[in-house]
Amino acid sequence: MSAPPELPEIVSRAFDVSRRAGYASFCRNETGRLLATLAATRTGTLAEFGTGCGVGTAWLRSGIRNGGARILTAEKDAALAGAAAEIFESDGQVEVLAADWSTLSDRGPFSLLFLDSGEPGSVRVDAIADLVEPGGLVVLDDFTPCASWPPVAYSRVDTLREEWLTDDRFTAVEVMIANDASAIIATRR
């Protein structure tokens, strides 16, 4: 069995900042590698709603080409946003804001938007659709894989997942990133 691939340096720094801040809720490496791969296909402005300590942002940054794109990320917890800002203080392609995600709504449309599905009320398709440019991507993580339809989570129909997978404004797919985790990738039509 071989060792897992090494982490990009910027991602290692983000994990260090998260540990120092005592923040344990961050982007999984499997999701991060997906984000880096998708970011490598993008130009324009990428955004993240819910920065935490910047691990997801670091994965996005590891994928973009220098000069090819920029990243805006918003975290409503000022202490976490401050910790994340440390990681990118000398990087002109990343802007970390201590703000609610809705403050970025006038800074779009975005070519890629990364969201955590953990706050279902704020990631509804209707709230997000117009923030993404045609051909742009939305990535929602933190789903538990489900093989049934309609999708079920915690003994209930997962209306958030169902909404994203069936909305006519997007072509979407759920992808397993690990045995216990999946993400939705949706492309704006």
Whether the predicted pLDDT of 169 surpasses 80: yes
Whether the predicted pLDDT of 37 surpasses 90: yes
Could you give the C-alpha distances from 3 to 7, 20, 175, 180, in angstroms and in order? 11, 25, 24, 20
The tokens of 173 are what? 């797919």
Q: Is the distance from CB of 147 to CB of 42 less than 8 angstroms? A: no
Alpha-carbon Rg for the chain in angstroms: 16
pLDDT value for 171:
98
29: enclosing H helix or E strand = helix 29-39
pLDDT value for 122:
63
The tokens of 152 are what? 């079920």
Look at the block and give the residue holding tokens 């993008």: 42
Percentage of the chain lying above the pLDDT 90 cut? 67
Q: Is the distance from CB of 161 to CB of 182 less than 8 angstroms? A: no
Task: Quick: pLDDT tens for 117-155.
Answer: 666 556 789 989 999 999 999 999 989 998 889 988 888
Percentage of the chain lying above the pLDDT 70 cut? 94
In whole numbers, what is the pLDDT of the chain averaged over residues?
90
Interval 63-81 mean pLDDT: 91
Compute the distance between CA of residue 13 and CA of residue 76 in angstroms, rounded to an integer.
21
Compute the distance between CA of residue 87 and CA of residue 16 in angstroms, rounded to an integer.
10
pLDDT value for 185:
98
pLDDT value for 1:
43
Could you give all domains of the chain from N- to C-terminal order, each with its CATH number? 27-188 (3.40.50.150)
Report the relative pairing of strands 69-75 and 94-98 from DSSP bridges. parallel
3-state helix, strand, coil in the chain (%, to 5): 35, 30, 35
Look at the block and give the residue holding tokens 């997801």: 56
Q: Is the distance from CB of 54 to CB of 14 less than 8 angstroms? A: yes
pLDDT value for 2:
42
Whether the predicted pLDDT of 3 surpasses 50: no
Least confident of 23-27, 145-149, 158-162, 174-178: 23-27
Q: Compute the half-sphere exposure of residue 77: CA atoms within 13 Å on the CB side of its CA.
A: 11
pTM of the model: 0.92
Look at the block and give the residue holding tokens 């992808």: 175
